Structure 1
């Protein structure tokens, strides 16, 4: 079963988007092969829900983090070799010979360039295969490849195949005699077709491993440890948003006796950014990817749902408030179906009046808290909800992001504190910007 995260959640957290420079996907998109990018797409599309599979993938990234590597060829060289290996093969050696001789004749008679393209493709492919073979042999001593042992052994077996032993001796790829050209072309594109497919697939994998591990190393991400579902905990130290420069790190933890974090703070204090940071860490950790934190351990969950930016729906005639209600309903259905979820609500019911928002936020938060297998972060400007929850016998943790006033200028620490804050500085900010005076200004 794949990890659940709907479009609303992915958009809230800015997860997808190859062409969006600020997306989480874009942070990791440093692959150089098309197949590597497709593999990366699939990893983002289908996070995992098995702790063993998550830890296995994570261990591969950690291996390349500890053993930094760069693929020994360019994207252009690989594209030429890949195209050569996957197109134009002949079924038999005689057919291969005739195809090559015919191309050479066309070159002489009508200056057709197909023969030159074939020679170039073969030469680039041989050079790439030799470079990748040497790359594999230099990774580590035999038997010390850790989590990539299987892939490395496959590559070693392929290059030790008697049909490919000539690769060890061939160095002058620009001047290959015609008989050898025919032999090499047949072996690479027909005789060893399956072996070449395996090599290409492993290059795709290594492309992703290297790209992702490089991000972890350069951005100081950590590798989260996945635990079985029944452990039912999330512990994160030094959590930060990967797209915020000089982000302030924070710690957060959840367990059955403290499964709801009620978050308060003034506008601009960093509530939404913190909740997005948490959601991103949860999503990436279920991919087995490095996460923007100092440390993290988590029990696998069935999915992640957020409500941070809920638009109205004019097409269906929905107001903002009704759109919020429908969103909470859809999440409630998932929670009620006994799924183990992480849920993030940023300012519930801000599309209605304060009295209804208070009643609804209090009732919904209390009801969700009874599902101890799920973890919730719920933010609100209505601090009275927090005070009411304190009086209940519930599994709540109260957190706030403080504001420090320096005269009439608010300064935000972005550092989580325990408790509930009554900080409200909207009118101070309005005053500082001179809005009232601007409106009342007369000619």
Structure 2
């Protein structure tokens, strides 16, 4: 499976990753209980899928957990104790394992040697986890086929007579030395792969349960992946997943009109909605739930955005030159034949209006020729849209501004066409900036 192409800037612009960053999409879903579950969540976030069947399979598992509303009480410390137990080395010889166990017990009574105690606690954790897994298996009735395969694998492990016997062991009674030594040798040797599979199953259930819970609470839905060759993206009521009471919008991009040209005033909501689209596409490739009533998409090779391009002092790049280099990177990626989603917000805002007009017009016209890709381009320069009317595969939408007593109000709803809003000077007048500069208004700011 080819790796999904996305660069650091796009990840940062969409605020996708980061456990210790505020408001990341990762943290929106990070409600797992176990350390292994968190590592698995990291793995999923860092490796979006590029196979249609794999994406739809994972989505169906999350949806299964969401519809069933399972209740699981994960004992974080229990899982951690078993993990530590399996990670400690053991001898291959049964005799040496038994001798070491006897020695550790003897030392525990003479000095502060806790190895025997940890060994007992580790085996007790294994017994408890076996019982926890058995309860899970009893709950998973009529699971979706994609998850049933995994359930059957774990059931086969649990049917081993030695594990059944261990599962029935009373952890509240002192464990004989022979039992401790026998199972240490077995679990860390012959059965180690099975124990790792059991732990992995617990981590998987932890992630499925946590993500499904978030989806249920927030009313998220699941995307449907389509073949890459269809070159289609269709969404209904798509919103930003992290914004409370966000306004949703519909969109259809396909080969015959694969370019969205978006206009609207500052604060009208263009950038936020473009970020919503990029986030949704990324989550869709992960098989995760997203903030939309429906979302269909042809699998992409990658996602590329240019929303918050900054200057680069280290390389000596001005803001404008950094924008140019960003567009160049996108052009090279598109020209390679990769099926991409490319999002450009306010192209060339770091230069004068004439150059920005010429550059936006030329770049949008050229990108429109790559019909295997999907594009979203926004600008303040509405005249560019008028010049692009003759390009057949470009569709035009705008975010309107409604004036109420000369005060702008934003609906955040996409409308067909090109905006005619020019409220910049009106906002300046409303804030009485000119009067302040002329001294005709008393400045009350300290």
Name the TM-score, length of structure 1 as normaliser. 0.95
Comparing 346-355 with 215-224, which one deviates more in the overlay?
Answer: 215-224
Q: Which whole-Å deviations, capped at 9, do the CAs of 1:18-47 have from their partners, x for residues lacking one?
A: 111301111111222233222222222221
* Contact 2:231–2:374 (CA under 8 A) maintained in structure 1: no
Aligned residue for 2:300, secondary structure, equals coil
Aligned residue pairs: how many?
Answer: 440
Pair 1:111–1:375, CA change in 2 (3 A): closer
Q: CA deviation at 1:298?
A: 0.8
Q: CA deviation at 1:422?
A: 1.8
Aligned residue for 1:22, secondary structure, equals coil
* Contact 1:92–1:190 (CA under 8 A) maintained in structure 2: no
* Contact 1:240–1:292 (CA under 8 A) maintained in structure 2: yes
Equivalent positions of 1:324-363 (< 5 A) are: 324-363=323-362
Gaps of 5+ in 2: none
* Contact 1:369–1:394 (CA under 8 A) maintained in structure 2: no
* Contact 1:39–1:205 (CA under 8 A) maintained in structure 2: yes
Comparing 318-327 with 182-191, which one deviates more in the overlay?
Answer: 182-191
Equivalent positions of 1:291-302 (< 5 A) are: 291-302=290-301
Structure 2 Cα separation of the partners of residues 210 and 269 of structure 1: 37
Gaps of 5+ in 1: none
Structure 1 Cα separation of the partners of residues 233 and 96 of structure 2: 61
Pair 1:382–1:145, CA change in 2 (3 A): closer
Q: Which residue of 2 aligns with 1:418?
A: 416
Q: CA deviation at 1:187?
A: 3.0
What is the CA RMSD across the aligned residues, in angstroms? 1.7
Q: CA deviation at 1:324?
A: 0.8
Structure 2 Cα separation of the partners of residues 169 and 340 of structure 1: 55
Of 395, 398, 420, which residue of structure 1 is paired with 2:396?
A: 398
Equivalent positions of 1:177-216 (< 5 A) are: 177-216=176-215
Q: Which residue of 2 aligns with 1:133?
A: 134
Q: Which residue of 1 aligns with 2:439?
A: 441
* Contact 1:241–1:276 (CA under 8 A) maintained in structure 2: yes
Q: Which residue of 1 aligns with 2:9?
A: 8
Q: CA deviation at 1:125?
A: 2.3
* Contact 1:123–1:174 (CA under 8 A) maintained in structure 2: no
Structure 1 Cα separation of the partners of residues 411 and 267 of structure 2: 10
Q: Which residue of 2 aligns with 1:306?
A: 305
Pair 1:430–1:174, CA change in 2 (3 A): farther
Structure 1 Cα separation of the partners of residues 197 and 98 of structure 2: 25
Structure 1 Cα separation of the partners of residues 247 and 112 of structure 2: 65
Aligned residue for 2:377, secondary structure, equals strand
Aligned residue for 1:14, secondary structure, equals coil
Q: Which whole-Å deviations, capped at 9, do the CAs of 1:167-187 have from their partners, x for residues lacking one?
A: 342233453233333333333
Q: Which whole-Å deviations, capped at 9, do the CAs of 1:89-142 have from their partners, x for residues lacking one?
A: 23232222112111111122224322222212221221122112211222215x
* Contact 2:85–2:118 (CA under 8 A) maintained in structure 1: no
Structure 2 Cα separation of the partners of residues 436 and 292 of structure 1: 43
Q: Which residue of 2 aligns with 1:90?
A: 91
Structure 2 Cα separation of the partners of residues 219 and 320 of structure 1: 38
* Contact 1:72–1:132 (CA under 8 A) maintained in structure 2: no
Pair 1:111–1:26, CA change in 2 (3 A): closer
Equivalent positions of 1:23-422 (< 5 A) are: 23-140=24-141, 144-390=143-389, 392-422=390-420
Aligned residue for 2:99, secondary structure, equals helix
Q: CA deviation at 1:71?
A: 3.9
Pair 1:175–1:145, CA change in 2 (3 A): farther
Structure 2 Cα separation of the partners of residues 353 and 95 of structure 1: 79
Q: Which whole-Å deviations, capped at 9, do the CAs of 1:267-293 have from their partners, x for residues lacking one?
A: 101000010000111111111111211
Structure 1 Cα separation of the partners of residues 197 and 173 of structure 2: 26
Pair 1:137–1:420, CA change in 2 (3 A): same
Structure 2 Cα separation of the partners of residues 413 and 427 of structure 1: 20
Aligned residue for 2:288, secondary structure, equals coil
Structure 1 Cα separation of the partners of residues 27 and 232 of structure 2: 29
Q: Which whole-Å deviations, capped at 9, do the CAs of 1:338-359 have from their partners, x for residues lacking one?
A: 2111111101111111111111
Q: CA deviation at 1:388?
A: 1.2
Aligned residue for 2:348, secondary structure, equals coil
* Contact 1:139–1:145 (CA under 8 A) maintained in structure 2: no
Q: CA deviation at 1:70?
A: 4.2
Comparing 168-177 with 31-40, which one deviates more in the overlay?
Answer: 168-177
Q: Which residue of 2 aligns with 1:21?
A: 22
* Contact 1:163–1:187 (CA under 8 A) maintained in structure 2: no
